[in-house]
Structure 1
Amino acid sequence: MIRIAWVAGALVVLVTGVIVAGRTARRHDHPGVVPYALLAVLLAGMGATIAFSRSGLVPIELDAISELLLIGGYAFASLLWIAFVFEYTGRGPAMTPRRWAGIVLLGGLTVTSTAVTWAQQTARLQVGLLGQLSSLTTFVLQVAVFSLGLLGVVLLVRSAVTYDDLARDSAVAFALTGVGITFLPIAIGYGGQLGGDSIYRVVFVQLAAVVGVLAWTAFGTDAFERGAAAGHLARKTALDAMSVPVLVVDREDRLLDVNQAAAETFDVETTRLRHHSLADVTDVPEDPPADRPVTLRTTTGRREFAVDRTEITGTDGDVLGRAYRFRDVTDRKTREQRLQVLNRVIRHNLRNDLDAIRGFAEPIRDEELPAGEASQYFDRIETLATELVDLADAVDRSQRVLTGDPLERTQCDLVTIARSVAGSATDADVTLDLPGAVVIRSDPDAIESVLTELLDNAITHTDRTPPSVTVCIHSTADGGRIEVADDGPGIPPEERNPLLEGEETPSRHSSGIGLWLVSWTVTRLGGELAFDERDPRGSVVIVDLPDLERSNQFGPPDT
């Protein structure tokens, strides 16, 4: 007996789905069109199959396998739904051919596992342990498919409510579609509990309703005329376009978002943001000082940043999180230091030495000195001139350090560099305290210049003959450490303090430029410079250098 109502329902649903797919497919260049069209055809096909099977017009019998076919169709419908949401809203991964293949594979696995479980439960196939494993696998896969469908609804609502990216009518239509698809298993289960043809009526009504909503969206709204607004995408693009690192955290200091500059500077794995806190990424103070920079670990070693913190508040004024903006001032501060040092060199060192040369030269010119004393004046003039040449060389080296080519990042052995530099110091007794090897990724030429400058400084300012210097190399958690110790009079506080405090003043400054050159090079290498006293006399200069391959990595996730 032919049931006209079922035939009419099948034709209406099938024709509606085809028309919806055809209308949306004409806008194939719009995001989300392909999965939307496929979704319309799939849901219409499922509804038509059910209706024709109950109409008596087509010899289709679904009684035995109805739930299996419905669950299989639901799996692919839910996966097409989440693919549509990802593409349409832009709030998800791009649907590449590989990801489409993954969707097909996940749907196929769900259908296959469900079929094995169904065969085991209906005694049509006895597969023993495989059947038991398939029950667990089916449960996991169906939960995953359901969760993805629900995620699509959440993303759509969030785009409409939080980001105002969707028109209200489009958002309502899409949300109803997602709810209808996601909760289809509930309709299947409810209809099955009612018995008889109830499962077909309940499921058909829900499928027809969803197809109707799809038609309303395609014909009654301009959802595919303008697409989703680019509000959140524009904000994300603007954030990534910023050249300075930006980190966004919630009120518990858990990472919410980072821009590309922050990901590169602090080595942030953007796919695992919620697993980490601000402290895992960088040791910035919760309330950073506004009047001075802070030193932080980065992928290029330790750098100095001026940090701005902005509170993110809700409409009721409650603090929801904070945004941190980091401006790297390392190079600017180094340039300021160099200007201070050059000003002092011109104002103090150069003028004083030239005044001294003139003072020694005038008596010689006027022939007012005995021959022996004139010779001593000549020696003094030569010494001062040599010091001025050395000073000019140091200024030239500082220029190359600050404006030269970018630093290399190659594997270099601190022990090998120390042996090479110590071997060239023939006018001192250099003792090496070295392990087998300390290999880090850094710039070997810059490290060699640091060690050469430290040895020269220790030899030049000693009061012992011959000078005695000890070079120690150690491995550290972040890289390597170089220690240069001498037995001279030590480095006086007036030489150390400007370096440690990072500035010179007319009343407080060092006398040379060598240690500043070391400080600037170490800073550029991302390292740290420190001083200590040696027992019983002398000083120790300590240089900590990071391995630029592992200088900043995520700490352990919050537990």
Structure 2
Amino acid sequence: MVSASLAVVLLAAVVGMGVAALVWLHRDRPGAGPLAAFVVAASLWAVAHGLELAVPGVVLMERLLQIQLTLSVVIPVAWLVTVLEYTGHPHWLTRRRVALLLVEPAVFVTLVWSNAAHRLVWRGGSVVTSAETSTLVPVWGLTRWGHLAYMLVLILAGGALLIRTMLRTTDRFQGQVLALLAAITVPTVGHSVHALDLVPARFDPTSLGYVVSGVVLSGALLRGQLLDVAPVTRDLGQEAVFTEMDDAVVIVDEAGRIVDVNDAATALFSADPAALSGRELAAELPDLAETVPEAGERAQTETRLEHDGAVRYYDVRITPLYRSYGVVSGHLVSLRDVTDRRQREQRIDVLNRLLRHDIRNEMNVVRGNADLLADSVDPAERDRIDRIVRTVDGIVDRSNKIGRVSEALERERAEPVRLPELLGTVVAEARNRYPRADVTLDCPDACWVDGSPALSLAFEELLDNAVEHSDGAPNVDIAVSVRNEGVVVRVSDDGPGIADHERDVILAGEETPLQHGSGVGLWLVKWVVRNVGGTLSFVDGPGTTVEIELPAATGPSTVDDRSAGEPPRDGSTATDSVTDDSAADGSPTV
């Protein structure tokens, strides 16, 4: 009957081959190929050792020992290659380095199979028999100890690389790294203990170590965590982002020395990028170095850098870099070139000043002179003077309108706005300006939106457009409804409608030389609505219908307002909606 020790060793071989099959199914993953070779070699090693326990005769045992020693050279090399691929360093495996790695295994295997001629691997041995098993106990030579040392060096090198990766990665990948470390540590320790004869044993416990390895690897594979997602993928992605991003990025250590720069940042430095590593940032770019805060602090600022006689402006964001246990290892300095944006802002400021002040003042001069000429020109030319005055008034009106909206957008703050009150004021003012217009408002009492006082300017502009572009007595209806989590305000009129190209320009959000609007009114409406988080759209149909959807808000918990739910003092009752209609004589009513 086969002994328990032989059964355990053969079980190690079976489990190892099963693990090898699972790993081979994932051979497209980083490190799967050499890991499969590792597990196959380990399993065959276990098979050879199991046969050594069962066969009689010293000669046959020596042949099986030679097979085991030959398979042992695969383990450390396959392990190191697995780790290099898994951690994203396959480029290290150049042909020259691979050849150097294989020199010792090739020499050792040659000496193993020619040992009878020189006795450098083992000098002899004895057969130890126990129950139904027997094993060969060799007397090892110097070459065997050298090979064992070489195995340990390669395994420790891979372990050190894994530990480095574990300290720099996330919790998920740390579990993967621990699985790999455990898978190699157990059999290596067992092999070393047996080789040094630290624990007396009648058979090599390395096979038992690989049983444990197989269990660890199988568990990792069945959970889908070992090879499905490897840190190399994340590292390669981060490296690609760092290298190819348009923003300049400089990495400095805690002492302010340059660690790395991406391609976009190389233009900032006069020195060769390859020579920047280790140099002081303060010596290369002193203005940028002044923006770097104390270790562990974040910062966002703007700076100007001069290079090759040109001055560029940058938005600088500085993020601390942490190692394990919260230790700060440096800072990541990201620079976004905002020179063009800064120049555009300057041009806009100048144009805004010209439109809001200079042109308006000059148009007032033109209008004043036109009024003076009106009394002295021939009556037949009076129409020309009136046209000049109307044109000037239109330019001044647009300037005032843009100025009001710009000032409102610059100083506004988002706040809950009670829509019935805001719209009621806008409607009342519109009736005062246009007595011939029939303006109605239908809005629920308890209706609040996230907005700002600038909304009144947007609705005022819509009413002005509806009235001014109407041929006769205009009818304008404002209807408010609650839809999902928003409030929809629909402004409808019976005018000629808005041309399709005007709608397209507003909805597209940009004007082109071939497609542009005729005014700024709808642009101002869109800017105000978008600024408070709303949307603007047009509804097909007769006349013009503009639909504005605003985010709903919750009003104050207590509102000292009759329309907010408090009964009127005259004894009347508040209704669920407010409807404003013009009186029969045209006077405004609210």
Determine if the TM-score, normalized by the shorter chain, exceeds 0.5: no
Q: TM class by shorter-chain length? A: 0.3 to 0.5
TM-score (norm. length: structure 1):
0.44
Structure with the greater relative contact order (CA < 8 A, sep ≥ 6): 1 or 2? 1
TM-score (norm. length: structure 2):
0.42
Of the two, which has the highest radius of gyration? Answer: 2
